[in-house]
C-alpha cells in the first residue's frame, strides 16, 4: 500500500491524497460504505461502483466470522471473490461488535470470550485470531484488535483499556508480520488510537501508535455518544501527533457535517452506518439538508429526491414516490434511499477533495456546514 | 390498442403476436411482472427494463387505491409518471384482492363493501368505481370488476357468481364507453371469463365475453387451488371460444411449466406473483429446475446462479453468496433472486415466441416441461 499526499489546504489541516492498493486506487478524503455481512444493504455491487462511485467498502469481521465463516470465505478465495467486488475492502477487527452486540462477554489478557448474538454459540477473539480472520477475509486493510470503552469512561478504566489495546496491538503486529497474506495480494494493518475523551491518554496513545510505523493509522472510540465538540477536540489532538505521510482513518464517523469538520482537522478516511441505516428509516441526506421522507409534507411533492443529486435515483424518482414506498414498507424504498445517501456522501468527500486542491476548502466547508445539518 | 397475430404453431395452439399500445409494443406470449403497489418488489424500474426486459407490468387497483390513493395518482399524472415507468401497465380490477385480502366484505348487486386490510377503513367497490380508479391510475389495459369464487365451488353458486360478473361487466363497459381517459393516451378494457371449474358455465361465460367484442379477453378464477389438469382443461375450452384475433390473458398463472402448457393452449398473456414472492423466500426458477437456495448443499457452490441465465445476476453472483445473503436475511438476497426469476420468466416466454415462429414450439415445450419442474 502506498499513500501519496497531493495537497494540503491553506485554511485548514485538510489533505487531498491517494492510497494505492493491489485492488486499485482510493482518492482521499474518502467515505467507505459499510458492507457488514458482505453486502452494503440493499445495493448491488455494480451500483456501488457505477452509481455511487464507492472506491472502497468496509466489511465486519465479527459478522463475517459468524456467517458465512472463514472456511467458506477461504474456499471462495476471499471476500472480494465471494461477493463479486474487485475494489479495495477494509475490515474492522471485530472488537467494536464484540463489545456492542455479543452477549456475556468476558475480557482477559489473552482475548475476549463471548456468545454469538445469532445462535448463542461460544466464541473467542484474540489479537492473533482477529488477524487470522481478516487474512481469511482477504481485506486490503485490516484493523488491529482493540478494546472500545463506552462513553463516558473515567480516566483510570480508560487508561487500563488503552494499555490493553496497546499490548494487543503488539501481538497483532507480530502475528501480522509472521504470516503471509493468503491470496497473493498485499494486506495492510492499521493500529487504532484509543483513550476515550481524555486528552492525556489520547496523546500517549497517538504517540505509541505513531511509533509503530504502520501503513496507516486509525482513531477509534469516538462517535460513541460524546458531544461533537469533544470528538473534534480529540481528533485535532490526535491528528497533530499521527504522521502526516500516512492516511488517518476516523472510525464510525459520522454526519455530513462531522465529516467536513474532521476533514478540516486532517482526517482522510471515514466509515459510518448513518447513510445506509438511516436510509432504511426514511432519512435522506441532501444538498439542501436532511429530509424525513415519511413526513406528510412530501406526499404530493413530485420534485426529484435531490435536485443537485448526482445519482440516477435523484432524477428518476420523486419525493412523493419515495414517501409512498417508505410508508408502504416496500423494499425499493430502502434501495432508493440508500443509493441516494451513499451517492451524496461520496459526492461530499469528492467535492471536498476538489476544494482542497483548489485551495477553497475552508470557506466551502463553512458554507456547507450551515446547510447540510438543517431539517427540511 | 392493436393486436396482430404473427404466427400460430403447427403442433399446438400456441400463437406469437404483438400488442401495440400508446406506451409501446408488447410481444406475445408475454409474462407481466406484478408491481402490486407501484413497485415490482425489490427491483428498480431501470432493472425491469434493461436487465429483465419486462415489456409490461401489472399494478393492483385494490392496493393503489388505498395507497397512495387516486388523488395523488391524478396529481402525479397517472401511475406511469408517479413511478417512472414509460412502458405499458395493466391493472387488475381490485376484485381478487377484495375477495382474498379485505375484511368483513359484503357483496350486493351494487358492488362490494369491505374494510381495508391496512387500517380497517370502510371501502366500497362498484363496477363503475373500479373503472374510475383504473382511469385515475391510467393503466393501458384495465380489467373488468368481477367476482372470484373460491375452489371448489358448486355449480349453482358458481353460476350465480358468473351471472353477477356478467351483469357487472355490462356496467363496466357502459361506464368505460361513457368516460374518456384522463391522460390523453388510450386505455383498453378486458372482460373476464368466470365459471369455476364447471365446463357448462365456462362455455356460457366465454361466449358472453366473446360477444362483447373488447380489445382483449381474460380468464379469471383459475390457479386458485384446483389441480393443474383442471386448469388446462378449462383454459383449452375457453381458448376455443374466445376470438383468435384478440389477446387472451390467463390471470394469476403460474409456474414455468403452467405457462408453457397454457401457451400451447393459445394463451398470450400471463401474470403471477410466484417469481417475485418465491424469490423473496429463496426459491429460484432456473433453466435446469427449481432451487431452494437455503439448502445446505449450496453453501460452498461457487458456480453462477444459473449458467444459462441471461441476467447480470446470473454471472456476477454465486449460489453460495446468494445462500449466505438469504440465510442472513439481507435485502440484496431478495433483489438478486427477484431479478433472476423475472429474467428467467421473460426468457421463457421470449424463447417460446421464437420457437412458435420457428415452428418447433411443441417439441421444445415437451422437453422443457420435463426439466423446469425438477427440484435440484
Chain B, nearest residue to A35 by Cα: B330
Chain A, nearest residue to B35 by Cα: A330
Chain A neighbors of B276, CB-CB under 8 A = none
Q: Is the pLDDT of residue A98 over 90?
A: no
Binary contact (A82, B318; C-beta < 8 A): yes
Chain B neighbors of A330, CB-CB under 8 A = 37, 39, 41
Q: Does B317 touch chain A (CB under 8 A)?
A: yes
- Counting one residue from A and one from B, how many pairs have CB atoms under 8 Å apart? 112
Binary contact (A332, B44; C-beta < 8 A): yes
**pLDDT attached to residue A148:** 87
Please write the tens of the pLDDT for every residue from A288-327: 999 999 999 999 999 999 999 989 999 999 999 999 999 9
Chain B, nearest residue to A74 by Cα: B300
Residues sharing a CB contact under 8 Å with residue A94, sequence separation 6 or more, in sequence order:
A60, A61, A62, A65, A125, A130, A133, A145
For the ranges A116-125, A250-259, A272-281, which has the lowest average pLDDT? A116-125
**pLDDT attached to residue B127:** 97
**Closest to B42 in 3D by CA, of B269, B273, B254, B259:** B273
Secondary structure class of A296 (helix, strand, coil): helix
**Choosing from A92, A146, A268, A306, which is the catalytic residue?**
A92
Residue range A189-198: mean pLDDT, rounded = 97
Q: Which of B46, B47, B68 to mutate to test the interface with A (most CBs of A within 10 A)?
A: B68
What is chain A's mean pLDDT, rounded? 96
Q: What is the pTM of this model?
A: 0.97
Q: Does A164 touch chain B (CB under 8 A)?
A: no
**pLDDT attached to residue B102:** 74
Binary contact (B82, A331; C-beta < 8 A): no
Q: How confident is the model at residue A105 (pLDDT cuts 50, 70, 90)?
A: confident
Instruction: Find the helix or strand (DSSP H, E) in which B25 lies.
Output: strand B24-28
**pLDDT attached to residue B139:** 98
Q: Does A116 touch chain B (CB under 8 A)?
A: no
**pLDDT attached to residue A99:** 79
Q: How buried is residue B116: exposed, middle or buried, by Cβ count under 10 Å (0-12/13-18/19+)?
A: middle
Q: Of B39, B335, B336, which is closest to A330 when you measure between CB atoms?
A: B39
Residues sharing a CB contact under 8 Å with residue B14, sequence separation 6 or more, in sequence order:
B8, B29, B263, B264, B265, B266, B352, B356, B361, B362, B365
Percent of chain A surpassing pLDDT 70: 100
Distance from C-alpha of A92 to C-alpha of B137, rounded to nearest angstrom: 49
Q: Which of B38, B43, B44 to mutate to test the interface with A (most CBs of A within 10 A)?
A: B44
- Residues of chain B whose pLDDT is less than 50? none
Q: For residue A297, what is the DSSP state?
A: G
**Choosing from B9, B51, B92, B268, which is the catalytic residue?**
B92
Catalytic-residue membership of B271: yes
Binary contact (A316, B41; C-beta < 8 A): no
Model ipTM over 0.90: yes
Binary contact (A82, B331; C-beta < 8 A): no
Please write the tens of the pLDDT for every residue from A142-156: 999 999 888 999 999
Amino acid at each position: 500500500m502506498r499513500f501519496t499526499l497531493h495537497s494540503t489546504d491553506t485554511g485548514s489541516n485538510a489533505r487531498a491524497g491517494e492510497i494505492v492498493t493491489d485492488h486499485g486506487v482510493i482518492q482521499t478524503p474518502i467515505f467507505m460504505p459499510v458492507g457488514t455481512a458482505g453486502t452494503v444493504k440493499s445495493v448491488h455491487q455494480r451500483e456501488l461502483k457505477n452509481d455511487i462511485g464507492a472506491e472502497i467498502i468496509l466489511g465486519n469481521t465479527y459478522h463475517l466470522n459468524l456467517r458465512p465463516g472463514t472456511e467458506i470465505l477461504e474456499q471462495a478465495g476471499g471476500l472480494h471473490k465471494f461477493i463479486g467486488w474487485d475494489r479495495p475492502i477494509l475490515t474492522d477487527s471485530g472488537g467494536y461488535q464484540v463489545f456492542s452486540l455479543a452477549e456475556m462477554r468476558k475480557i482477559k489478557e489473552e482475548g475476549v470470550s463471548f456468545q454469538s448474538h445469532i445462535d448463542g454459540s461460544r466464541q473467542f477473539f484474540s489479537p492473533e485470531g482477529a488477524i487470522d480472520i481478516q487474512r481469511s477475509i482477504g481485506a486490503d486493510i485490516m484493523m488491529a484488535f482493540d478494546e472500545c470503552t463506552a462513553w463516558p469512561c473515567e480516566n483510570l478504566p480508560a487508561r487500563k483499556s488503552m494499555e490493553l489495546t496497546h499490548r494487543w496491538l503488539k501481538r497483532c503486529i507480530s502475528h501480522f508480520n509472521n504470516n503471509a497474506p493468503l491470496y497473493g495480494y498485499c494486506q495492510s494493518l492499521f493500529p487504532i488510537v484509543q483513550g476515550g475523551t481524555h486528552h492525556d491518554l489520547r496523546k500517549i496513545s497517538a504517540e505509541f501508535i505513531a511509533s509503530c510505523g504502520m501503513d496507516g493509522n486509525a482513531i477509534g472510540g469516538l462517535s460513541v455518544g460524546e458531544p461533537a465538540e469533544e470528538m473534534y477536540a480529540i481528533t485535532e489532538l490526535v491528528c497533530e501527533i499521527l504522521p502526516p505521510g500516512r492516511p488517518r482513518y476516523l472510525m464510525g464517523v459520522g454526519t455530513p457535517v462531522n465529516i467536513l469538520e474532521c476533514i478540516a482537522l486532517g482526517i482522510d478516511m471515514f466509515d459510518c452506518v448513518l447513510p445506509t441505516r438511516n436510509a432504511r428509516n426514511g432519512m435522506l441526506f441532501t444538498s439542501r439538508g436532511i429530509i424525513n421522507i415519511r413526513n406528510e409534507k412530501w406526499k404530493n411533492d413530485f420534485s426529484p429526491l435531490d435536485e443537485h443529486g448526482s445519482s440516477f435515483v435523484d432524477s428518476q424518482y420523486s419525493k412523493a414516490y419515495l414517501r409512498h414506498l417508505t410508508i408502504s414498507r416496500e423494499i425499493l424504498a430502502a434501495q432508493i434511499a440508500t443509493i441516494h445517501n451513499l451517492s451524496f456522501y461520496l459526492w461530499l468527500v469528492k467535492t471536498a477533495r476538489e476544494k482542497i486542491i483548489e485551495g477553497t476548502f475552508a470557506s466551502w466547508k463553512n458554507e456547507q456546514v450551515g446547510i447540510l445539518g438543517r431539517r427540511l
